[in-house]
Amino acid sequence: MSSVVIVGTQWGDEGKGKIVDLLTKHADCIVRFQGGNNAGHTLVVDGQQFIFHIIPSGILYEDKRCMIGNGVIIDPAVLLDEIAELKDKGLPVTPQRLLISENAHLIMEYHKQLDLAQEAARSKGKKIGTTGRGIGPCYVDKVGRVGIKIGDLLDKSLLADKLQANIDEKNFLLTKKFGAEPLSFDLLLDHVLAYGEQLTSYVGNVSLELDTARKAGKHILFEGAQGTQLDIDHGTYPFVTSSNTVAGNACNGTGFGPVHIDAVIGILKAYTTRVGEGPFPTELHDQTGEELQKKGGEFGATTGRKRRCGWLDGVVANDAVRLNGITGLAITKLDVLSGQKSIKMCTSYKLNGSTLHAMPSSIDKATGVQPLYEEHPGWDAEIDGVREFDNLPAQAKDYIRRIEDFTGVEATIVSVGPDREETLLLKNPFEAEK
């Protein structure tokens, strides 16, 4: 029995989807604990493409139990679309296979409208570059204690009460502050009730079920979304998402006790990318940046936006190791670096004559730091056909060894291409000793 948490170590898009898919094979239960449909990953299985935004990709395996924890926020229309699409592809999503926490909050139409209106109203330099999916406003309501939980869908009069209070306030904001059209209470209530009818059979107590699974000796995989530098507390605030993306939230976001976590796998892309605005010390504005973007196919899975690209940032990696308690690294997209004459890794930042070894919390400082690099020889050969670590080019092995040395964490997985088979599983975290 083991419980393994997967987190992104950078600004998201580290290739978590592929590693989650790989480890899902070894898990009995797969549970998401934060974020919403701002996340997204694409998997191709037997020539069929699947895009996941909310449901854990473990749903592709018939014998796995997938769960959506209380820390996740759910756009019911998107969830139902995802369920319908899977059904069309021959994968019925039954309540036996998917459990949704009754405490997960709903992303409502007004959250999406407010997200878009707020982002549009932000001046240049202040824009966050949100995904426009209503994430921030939904978490604001959750913390402000006016949110609507998926469990509320079971109680029509409670739902109507909560919705009325929200609609009054949100319409005031939409019309008076942003000059937008008001939303209709009746229409919204009808929609939400209809969603409720379709979703209630999936709703239950995730915490209880995880506890039962753990006691029964099952393997549990906690699937994080986004990345450590997008964490609401520890990331490059305010250019962050609105949830805690770090491993600790696997417990809060599902109702699971911290002492039962056995391993934390940090997904580290062999270089760095970021979508949206905000500081990115190792960003490349040159030909190399473009090469990484093209070769890495660096477009956001949710919004299709081009990702900004840069060298690996060891400061960011070490922040992630500390903040998440990472016990093993999954180094992804190593193949994208093939063909680079030399490869740089940032080892510290310079700011006003001082050397920094952690991302500064002040956004002005984080924007002003200069990365200090060490340089490593690159390799020419394409490595996507390599299946044994020892068969990697010596320079690639040295680069990985250097990352291990710098972070103090061993690489347990190395990904050398997008396909399932293009992965070197050096150590199975479900078999790791605590």
Catalytic residues: 13, 41
Closer to ligand IMP by Cβ: residue 136 or 371? 136
Closer to ligand IMP by Cβ: residue 203 or 292? 292
Confirm if 72 and 36 have CB atoms less than 8 A apart: yes
Tell the smallest beta-carbon distance from residue 226 to ligand IMP (Å): 5
**Dihedral of the CA atoms 43, 45, 47, 53 (nearest 10)?**
-30
Closer to ligand IMP by Cβ: residue 152 or 223? 223
Residues that bind ligand IMP (CB under 6 A): 11-13, 38-39, 128-131, 133, 135-136, 225-226, 230, 239, 241-242, 275-276
Tell the smallest beta-carbon distance from residue 218 to ligand IMP (Å): 27
Tell the smallest beta-carbon distance from residue 17 to ligand IMP (Å): 10
Beta pairing, strands 65-68 & 98-101: parallel
CA distance 255 to 265: 20
Sign of CA dihedral 306, 312, 317, 319: negative
Closer to ligand IMP by Cβ: residue 54 or 230? 230
Q: Is 316 exposed, middle or buried (0-12, 13-18, 19+ CB in 10 A)?
A: buried
CA distance 387 to 374: 28
Confirm if 22 and 239 have CB atoms less than 8 A apart: no
Select the residue whose beta carbon is closest to ligand IMP and give its number.
276
Cβ neighbours, 10 Å, residue 216: 9
332: enclosing H helix or E strand: strand 328-332
Of 305, 303, 413, 308, nearest to 51 by C-alpha is: 303
**Backbone dihedral region of 21: left (phi > 0), alpha (psi from -120 to 50 degrees) or beta?**
alpha
Sign of CA dihedral 238, 359, 16, 142: negative
